[in-house]
Amino acid sequence: MRPARPRVLCALAAVLAVGLSACDKAPLLAPGGTVIYLNAASTSVSANGSIDIVAVLVEQGTASSEDGGSTTASGTPVHNGTLVSFTTTIGRIEPAEAQTQNGRAVVKFIGDGRSGAATILAYSGGARSEITLNVGGAAAERILLSATPVSSSGGTSTISAKVEDMSGNALAGVSVQFSATTGQLSATSALTNDAGVATVTLSATSESAVTATVGTKTASVTVTPPTRSGLTITPPNTLFASTPASFTVGVTSGANVKSVRVNWGDGTSTDLGAISSSVTVQKTYGSGGAYTVTATATMADNSVEPAVSTAVSVDEFKVTLSTTNNSPSVNASVPFSAATTPNTTQVREYRWNFGDGTEAVTAGPSINKVYNAAGTYTVTVTVVPVVGGARSNSLVVVVAP
């Protein structure tokens, strides 16, 4: 039987050699009694963002909380090269396995665009630990919502929603839902950019309340077009050339009107500046005819309101000439009087022609004339207005010897 012993020893040696080789290849896992303390650089991360995850492995470890809620471990670090595996319910961990160095294994959580509470698990041997990481919309703590103004006649407002986490960090890749009570939104949802801002536009002609929602967080902003001018222009019942006419121009109370301009339809216009109620504007037309009066209002935001117009008809003023003595005697003083209809016609001067080769100009409507010879005379008065063309009238005087 002795000759067989060398073969048995050789076989045993071979088995031992295989076993030792297998031990060299087995991973080094945490020994019993090891505690894993799992921390993330932040409690939240954007939907497509990334963040470091740190697992600290100590044998027979104890823990303490530092400011900010992070956890530190006390105890003996496990051997370098101890393998730690990681999993997550949202996104991915890179690498999924890591070896310790001075008791620490560091990996990275990478978002996949989804939002929610990611449960991250670290385990090695019999030790395991979990933390929850708020991802994307789940990390949203506040929404800062703003809107650009629109003109009084409506228009397009840019709606911007900035999403932040509890620490005030901007969250990128978060889906923001938008709604509006009136008007038309360019989209009902949008993703935040790298600055954490999601943007849509609102087209509205009246007040609209816009709401932005991320998870359970909401914010609202009201887009309110300024009060429209409500511009009106009211002419008098009758108008005469060369006679001042009073027009009433009005705006809605509370309307922020920067200026009002009235075009009278005769090539002239008047700037009224800023008005806040009804004002009276004087206009004198130089000649009769039909005119279209147009008013436009410019608002404080420099938008121009639609013009309002009214048609007016202007009559020529009339001149009458009279005397109390149609048949005077030679060398008698004859009184003449001129009058205009309406009597509010603004007159610059009266020009008289007495029919005997003599003339006169007066500022007033009355004059006396002495004829030195008998005869029939045609007396004419020409009324020259301040604005517009002159008009005349005549009468015949018979002077007795």
pLDDT per residue over 267-285, tens digit each? 999 999 999 999 999 999 9
pLDDT per residue over 247-267, tens digit each? 999 999 888 899 999 999 999
What is the set of domains in the chain, with CATH numbers? 34-137 (2.60.40.10), 140-223 (2.60.40.10), 232-315 (2.60.40.10), 318-399 (2.60.40.10)
Rounded to the nearest integer, the mean pLDDT of the chain is 89
What is the model's pLDDT at position 172?
A: 87
- Pick the closest to residue 35 from 69, 67, 66, 74 (CA basis): 74
DSSP letters of 74-86?
EEEEPPTT-EEEE
Beta-ladder partners of 57: 36
Q: Identify the residue with better confidence: 2 or 385.
A: 385
Share of the chain above pLDDT 70, in %: 90
DSSP-derived pairing of the beta strands 308-315 and 239-240:
parallel
What is the model's pLDDT at position 72?
A: 55
The confidence band for 10, taking pLDDT boundaries of 50, 70 and 90, is very low
What is the model's pLDDT at position 160?
A: 97
Scored b (16 or more CB within 10 A) or e, 295-313 reads bbbbbeeebbbeebeeebe
Q: Identify the residue with better confidence: 193 or 139.
A: 193
Rounded to whole angstroms, the Cα distance separating 50 from 56 reads 20
What residue type is assigned to position 277 of the chain?
Answer: S
What is the mean predicted confidence (pLDDT) over 155-174?
90
What is the mean predicted confidence (pLDDT) over 337-363?
97
Which tokens sit at 135?
């991802």
